[in-house]
Amino acid sequence: MALFERRTLEAVGVDIGTSSVKVMELQRTRRGYRVNCAAVESLPRNAVVERGISDVEQVGAALRRATKRARCKRKNAIVAIASSHVITRTFQLPEGIKAFEIEEQVMIDAAQNVPYSVDEMYLDYQVLASMEAGAEDSVTVTACRREVVDDYVSAVESAGLRPVVVDVDTFAIARAFPLVTAAMSESLQGKAVALLDVGEVTTRLDVFVDGTVIYDRDHSFGGRSLTESIQSYCDISFEEAEAVKLSRNLSEDDQEQLLEPFKRTISEEAARALEFFASAGRGYDTVDLLFVTGGCLRLDGILELISNYTGVPTATANPFLGKNIKARTKLKLQPTLLLKACGLAMRGAG
């Protein structure tokens, strides 16, 4: 397995989140991509903790159910680990270095700058050729502790799949994001475009300019807080509260007591995340456009409320609306959980 795998692959994209697993198969076409199949399967509570797998058996079982329900035909799989477990460094290569010397230089740099023993890590690297004449080439090194990667590999294998590439979630999102912006009629060249991913326990903001990530940050807030509010308010189990949240089976009074405060909190967190970006010294006071993804989009009026709090035009991060990808109508209407899986499936589209 490798991160910077260059050969053509046909594989299913596997996104293992805190509350669910998602699988997707894409096929490359002349115009872009076609979705062969996709599915989402819920995970038991605490099967994934702090974005690492704590119960390989439960995660593997959920993946097996998801691939069966989606009718996936491919056995090769591309899975992503969380960026919070990954160390990425880019450094200049010495002038005149030979190709066979690069790996040795990478290992020396890793030993000096990564806070783990090289024997405890998996790492991969990619040489980046300089665009300027006479400038030195650079190399990007990505490393992760073996125990984290091994858990993901074991879960995928227990579902009857062959993990051929271990990716990083932020790379997968960046890969799929052009499908989101492709549906826009106006040019986004030179503009700061943000993606807010509201997860189960973490909300992440990525800001792109011309397809390149210039800022990213995780914030400790997610949809689990709504589940816990429902659990406490209704005096039911966590599993029952999660089912209520997903079904939205609440009276008008309960919605006022539970959903409205949660929607305001999401909007406040979005505004706070953009304030952090504005103070990060990237040369932008705000962003020009904000896309949102995650289960929170099931809440009525959430995009309008986020836009009101942030002062930024806000839209759903839907990778299936543009001309470069063909998907079933049902999938186009339910894109909120599949952006990362889409980015992984793009690597395995053949």
Residue 277 sits in a domain of what CATH number?
3.30.420.40
Q: Which residue has the tokens 């509010």?
A: 229
Q: Which residue has the tokens 């809440």?
A: 299
**pLDDT(275) > 70:** yes
Q: Do 138 and 188 fall into the same domain?
A: no
* CA distances, 107 to each of 2, 17, 88, 145, 262 (Å): 16, 31, 13, 15, 47
Query: Per mean pLDDT, which of 39-53, 109-123, 243-257 is the most reliable?
Result: 39-53
Average pLDDT, the chain: 89
Q: Do 128 and 225 fall into the same domain?
A: no
| Neighbour count for residue 125 (Cβ, 10 Å) | 22
Asked if the structure places residue 3 within a domain, the reply is: no
Under the banding of pLDDT at 50, 70 and 90, the label for residue 137 is: confident
Gap between the Cα atoms of 18 and 265, Å rounded: 20
Q: Do 122 and 212 fall into the same domain?
A: no
Asked if the structure places residue 274 within a domain, the reply is: yes
Domain boundary among 97, 130, 145: 145
Q: What's the pLDDT at 133? A: 54
Q: Do 100 and 196 fall into the same domain?
A: no
Q: What's the pLDDT at 41? A: 94
Q: Do 136 and 254 fall into the same domain?
A: no
* pTM for the model: 0.88
Mean pLDDT of 206-229: 92
Q: How many domains does the chain have?
A: 2
Asked if the structure places residue 152 within a domain, the reply is: no
3-state SS, residue 217: strand
Q: What's the pLDDT at 301? A: 93
Domain boundary among 94, 114, 145: 145
**pLDDT(7) > 70:** no
Gap between the Cα atoms of 175 and 171, Å rounded: 6
Percent of the chain with pLDDT over 90: 59
Asked if the structure places residue 344 within a domain, the reply is: no
Q: What's the pLDDT at 317? A: 93
281 or 114: whose pLDDT is higher? 281
**pLDDT(99) > 80:** no
Residue 116, domain extent: 86-145
| Neighbour count for residue 315 (Cβ, 10 Å) | 16
Q: Do 212 and 127 fall into the same domain?
A: no
**Edge-to-edge, what's the strand order for the sheet holding 203-209?**
212-219, 203-209, 192-198, 289-294, 314-316
